[in-house]
């Protein structure tokens, strides 16, 4: 393991050159770790050279009580008698395509419950508050955890599938997209270099995985794209895409692709490293 007390000139120049080459601070940290530096050393050097708050970089270190998800295992994962088929897998990013996560009846019931409560879709701002975002052009709503027996059943199914307690999940969000609407490429993890990181993670830590469930099959378009992997998941009623990520994981960039014909309904569940305080 490499050690230093003050950033050496040659290391300083390497960090600067790497950042100028388009690498984000967390990417530079990752490259230093791969070169043999420990986490704290990497964080101190990147903080000193690039001017990133050390506390923000240290926030990416594992914390007490943090949990990870278990990736669904092919070919079939059975949860309380419900069989979910894993029809495709990627290693980077960690993606699993899940067939039959929801039944047709569950999809229809979610749409019916959500429809009267739809409003302009929101994202989470740097202070943990919900806000509109021009990149997301859908309508949506949130269910409370365990709000109805249907929501409870779906939450328990997901918890068993990924081996993470229900308490680690945010409330289920249902979104409705019309032709031309989309969610442009983005990350689901919270950026620790942003000033609101502490506020947005205070209630449950970092996001560690997402599950996007397709409640209908659009006539054309509307899939979920992973640009770094050149991979697109087709939106098919009852199926879902699960993907997990670490803080700063650039490969997890993804997009809700535009609906070309018809409409798209999805339900999204975000999972946190610690129990989510509502």
Beta-bridged to residue 98, according to DSSP, are: 86, 240
Answer whether residue 63 is part of any domain.
no
Q: Residue 278 domain-assigned? A: no
- For the chain, the average pLDDT equals 90
- 226 and 178 within one domain: yes
Q: How many domains does the chain have?
A: 2
Instruction: For residue 139, list its beta bridge partners.
Output: 120, 176
Angle at CA 67, nearest 5°, toward 183 and 97? 45
Instruction: Please check whether residues 141 and 243 belong to one and the same domain.
Output: yes
DSSP label of 144: P
Residue 65 falls within a domain, yes or no?
Answer: no
**What are the tens digits of pLDDT across the range 89-110?**
999 999 999 999 999 999 999 9
Same domain, 90 and 154: yes
Same domain? 254 vs 195: yes
Q: Is the pLDDT of residue 126 over 80?
A: no
Same domain as 96, residue 54:
no
| 243, 118: one domain | yes
173 touches 136 (CB < 8 A): no
User: What burial class does residue 144 get, using C-beta atoms within 10 Å of its C-beta: 0-12 exposed, 13-18 middle, 19+ buried?
Assistant: exposed
In a domain, 120, yes or no: yes
Helix (H) or strand (E) holding 19: helix 9-20
- Domain of 39, in residue numbers: 9-58
Is residue 71 in some structural domain? no
The verdict on 224 and 254 lying in the same domain is: yes
Domain match, 41 and 144 both: no
Q: Are strands 94-99 and 82-90 parallel, antiparallel or unpaired?
A: antiparallel
* Integer angstrom CA distances of residue 35 from 2, 13, 55, 111, 151: 9, 16, 22, 49, 46
Pairwise pLDDT comparison (242 vs 135), residue with the higher score: 242
The reply to whether 187 and 80 lie within a common domain is yes
pLDDT grade, residue 1 (50/70/90)?
A: very low
Q: Is residue 68 part of a domain?
A: no
> Is residue 132 in some structural domain?
yes
Q: Please report the pLDDT score of residue 4 as a whole number.
A: 45
Q: Spell out the alpha helix ranges (H) of 35-103.
A: 39-50, 54-58
């Amino acid at each position: 393991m490499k050690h230093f007390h003050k950033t050496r000139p040659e290391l300083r120049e390497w960090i600067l050159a790497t950042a100028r080459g388009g690498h984000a601070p967390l990417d530079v940290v990752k490259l230093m770790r791969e070169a043999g530096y420990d986490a704290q050393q990497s964080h101190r050097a990147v903080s000193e050279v690039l001017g990133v708050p050390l506390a923000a970089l240290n926030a990416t270190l594992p914390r007490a009580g943090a949990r990870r998800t278990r990736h669904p295992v092919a070919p079939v994962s059975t949860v309380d008698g419900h069989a979910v088929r894993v029809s495709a897998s990627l290693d980077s990013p960690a993606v699993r395509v899940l067939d039959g996560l929801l039944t047709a009846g569950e999809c229809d019931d979610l749409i019916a419950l959500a429809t009267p409560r739809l409003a302009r879709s929101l994202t989470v701002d740097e202070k943990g508050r919900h806000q509109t975002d021009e990149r997301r052009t859908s309508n949506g709503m949130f269910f409370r955890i365990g709000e109805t027996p249907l929501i409870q059943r779906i939450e328990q199914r997901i918890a068993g599938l990924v081996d993470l307690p229900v308490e680690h999940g945010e409330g289920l969000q249902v979104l409705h997209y019309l032709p031309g609407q989309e969610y442009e490429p983005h990350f689901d993890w919270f950026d620790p270099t942003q000033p609101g990181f502490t506020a947005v993670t205070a209630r449950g830590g970092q996001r560690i995985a997402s599950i996007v469930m397709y409640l209908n099959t659009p006539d054309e378009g509307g899939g979920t794209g992973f640009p770094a992997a050149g991979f697109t998941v087709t939106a098919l009623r009852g199926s879902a895409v699960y993907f997990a990520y670490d803080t700063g994981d650039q490969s997890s960039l993804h997009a809700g692709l535009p609906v070309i014909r018809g409409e798209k309904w999805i339900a999204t569940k975000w999972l946190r490293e610690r129990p989510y305080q509502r």
